[in-house]
Amino acid sequence: MSELKRHMGLFHLTMYGVGLILGAGIYVLIGEAAGIAGDSVWISFMLGTIVAIFAGLSYAELTSVFPKAAAEYTFVKRAFKNNFLGFLIGWLTAITSVITASVVALGFGGYLLKFIDIPIILSAAGLIVALSVVNFIGIRESAWTNTVFTIVEAAGLILIIVIGFTFVSPEPVDYFDSPTGLSGVVIAFVLVFFAFIGFEDMANVAEEVRQPKKNLPRAVILSVVISGAIYILVALAAVRVVNWHELGLSAAPMADIASKALGEKGNILLSSIALFATTNTVLITLVAGARIFYGMARDGSLPSKLGLVHSKTKTPWIAVLGIMIASAIFTLVGDIVIVANITVFAIVITFAMINLAVIVLRYTEPDIERPFKIPFNIKRFPILPLFGLAITVYMMFQFEFEIVVVGLGIIGAGCVVYLIYGKKKRK
């Protein structure tokens, strides 16, 4: 089997990571978060940046050790020497892709209302079906194409930052004011953490990176820091233009900010960029989700039918179909906050296990080569992954009961799939 060509250096890989993170989360959730945290919403994004950095450091160490593994499934399986745990994390990663596509598609529907009067759920489901057809036909992305996409998406956010800090606000903004106090800031932090999801997928291109043991860790950290800085600046700028209460009620917050400062032209410009960003994110997410199921099937952890490749398109068509149906179903929930929180619940568990995997591997495989090693250690023990683990465990207790029930239901479904398929496999 021929190897993939290593064509991505540090710059393209960092841009790839920034593109994965920026995506559409900020375009979709800044309004809902501001409605919860008020003018203090920037603190929520700062907390999200800190947690993402902890997780990013853990991913950086693991990807430097296993640059060809390229999956949480492999990291956890290797650390705990347990197929079941590895399967569950792989399952959660795939389900995260499914629900992320639903969340961002609902955001697409909100921005599309600026142009066409069509129900948000209908346009969201339509987008998922249309992009699944593209996913089935086949996609070939280059590093330069991704770089262009990232620049376009980032340009919209930079425009918001410029607008915010040059806009003369009629009312003074108290950046430490929150309508619900600290609890609101924490709730918003858990919600906006959705906007940081994506950098973990950088591991999936490890075999196409030049000097992966050196460049992957650097790119992960750089992409998280750059994206976090942009998010915080956007949050600071947004509430200067539109008050937090109005943002909380908006289906297209970025467009409303541009509209207030630049008029109808600004509205159309930001809505167009947001449609581009959301479409691109849904497409990338659907592709990634299908490939995760495909990869797990090829590894023998899921039914082999999910690993079937269409003879003409050379794409995993059954996995593509499954991801499409599941994502479309989640759009029926309609409430973007609920769907986003389900996603964050799944990713928080995954990040907790990744942080723990770093700690475990320090003791079970102490002599393995680590081209990148997380700083601040007490002998073998890494301090920062412990903080990351503690914060993610704390986040697990911040979700509403209904979100936890759905999250546990997803895990339970994974257990059932594993047990049924494992039983058939043994027979």
pLDDT tens profile 33-83: 999 999 999 999 999 999 999 998 998 888 888 765 445 777 898 899 888
Looking at domain 10-420, which of 3.40.50.1390, 2.40.160.20, 1.20.1740.10, 3.30.420.40 is its CATH number? 1.20.1740.10
Q: Is residue 306 within 8 Å of residue 297, measured between CB atoms? A: yes
Kindly state the average pLDDT of the residues 394-414: 92
pLDDT at position 35, please? 94
Bridge partners, residue 377, by sequence: 382
- The verdict on pTM exceeding 0.85 is no
pLDDT at position 104, please? 87
Domain ranges for the chain: 10-420
Predicted confidence (pLDDT) at residue 138 exceeds the cutoff of 70: no
Q: Is 130 exposed, middle or buried (0-12, 13-18, 19+ CB in 10 A)?
A: middle
Kindly state the average pLDDT of the residues 380-398: 94
Residue 31's Cβ-side half-sphere holds a number of Cα atoms within 13 Å equal to 21
Q: Is residue 276 within 8 Å of residue 153, measured between CB atoms? A: yes
Per-residue pLDDT band at 142 (split at 50, 70, 90): very low
Provide long-range contacts, Cβ within 8 A and 24+ apart, for 374-380: 374/57, 374/58, 374/60, 374/61
- Which residue did the predictor score with more confidence, 116 or 313? 116
